[in-house]
Amino acid sequence: MLLKEILQANKEFVKHYNSKVVCPKKPKKSLAILACMDHRLVEFLEPALGIGRGDAVIIKNAGNISKQDESDVLRSLTIALYILGCKEIAVIGHTNCGMKKLDLKELRANMLDNGINYKNIENIKLNEWFGSFECEGQNVLDTVKHIREFPLVAKHIIIHGLIIDIDKGNLHHLITI
Ligand SMILES: [Zn+2]
């Protein structure tokens, strides 16, 4: 358990944190980002984009995917647009993403090893649900398209698709619609 370590780190953090710094409730850059949950993006993606605390909303999931209209991504984006005042959306994929060609056999075997009942696994259409993809760039384009077509995203909202190099940090612009 890492909890002890986390609580200790938190004590140190609070000791040195200047709580007089007030962060606005709405993001200063009016930007909502959908990115991958990959741990390598922690403290990497934000500085690579020149954004800091209070600048943007960041929604994360495995593979920066939005495929279903009832997805939590679209729920969160809708809040970002109409409560938090975001005007632009950036879908940011990254190179060497773990969701590319996800090994469903390994995933299934690891779930079974962890005591998950096979019937519960069989009930899920694994590939569809986990949303593995063949190419990070195409996945970004598909996600941008899905968000663009979602009826609750207003036409004047600008949507960008980008890929960040997970090793070098450089950003490739794929599309803006
Ligand atoms: Zn990823």
State in Å: Cα 122 to ligand 1 middle.
Answer: 25
CA diameter of the chain: 53
Q: How far apart are CA 46 and CA 55, in angstroms?
A: 10
State in Å: Cα 27 to ligand 1 middle.
Answer: 24
Give the pLDDT confidence score for residue 101 in this predicted structure: 82
State in Å: Cα 86 to ligand 1 middle.
Answer: 24
State in Å: Cα 33 to ligand 1 middle.
Answer: 14
Q: How many residues does the chain have?
A: 177
**In the predicted model, what is the mean pLDDT of the chain?**
93
State in Å: Cα 30 to ligand 1 middle.
Answer: 24
Query: For the domain bounded by 25-97+135-177, which CATH number is listed?
Result: 3.40.1050.10
Protein residues near ligand 1, an ion, with CB under 5 A: 36, 38, 97
Q: What φ, ψ does residue 137 adopt, rounded to 5°?
A: -65, -45
Give the pLDDT confidence score for residue 57 in this predicted structure: 97
- Residue/partner pairs of 50-54 with CB below 8 Å, 24 or more apart: 53/23, 54/23, 54/24, 54/27, 54/28
Is 175 buried (19+), middle (13-18) or exposed (0-12) by CB count in 10 A? middle
Confidence band for 161, pLDDT divided at 50, 70 and 90:
very high
Give the pLDDT confidence score for residue 38 in this predicted structure: 97
Q: What is the pLDDT of residues 76-101, one digit of tens each?
A: 999 999 999 999 999 999 999 988 88
What is the mean predicted confidence (pLDDT) over 54-74?
91
State in Å: Cα 136 to ligand 1 middle.
Answer: 9
State in Å: Cα 31 to ligand 1 middle.
Answer: 20
State in Å: Cα 38 to ligand 1 middle.
Answer: 5
What is the mean predicted confidence (pLDDT) over 37-53?
96
DSSP 141: H
Distances in Å between the Cα of 75 and the Cα atoms of 82, 152, 153 are 11, 10, 11
Strands 31-36 and 56-61: parallel
- Whether 127 has a pLDDT exceeding 80, the answer reads no
Q: Provide the whole-model pTM.
A: 0.91
Give the pLDDT confidence score for residue 94 in this predicted structure: 97
Give the pLDDT confidence score for residue 85 in this predicted structure: 97
State in Å: Cα 108 to ligand 1 middle.
Answer: 19
State in Å: Cα 8 to ligand 1 middle.
Answer: 30
- Quote the percentage of the chain above a pLDDT of 90: 73
Cβ contact 146:91 at 8 Å? no
State in Å: Cα 166 to ligand 1 middle.
Answer: 9
In the chain, domain spans: 25-97+135-177, 101-133
State in Å: Cα 76 to ligand 1 middle.
Answer: 19
Give the pLDDT confidence score for residue 130 in this predicted structure: 79
Least confident window among 106-110, 149-153, 165-169:
106-110
End-to-end CA distance of the chain: 45
Strand partners, 32: 57, 89
- Whether 139 has a pLDDT exceeding 90, the answer reads yes
Give the pLDDT confidence score for residue 133 in this predicted structure: 85
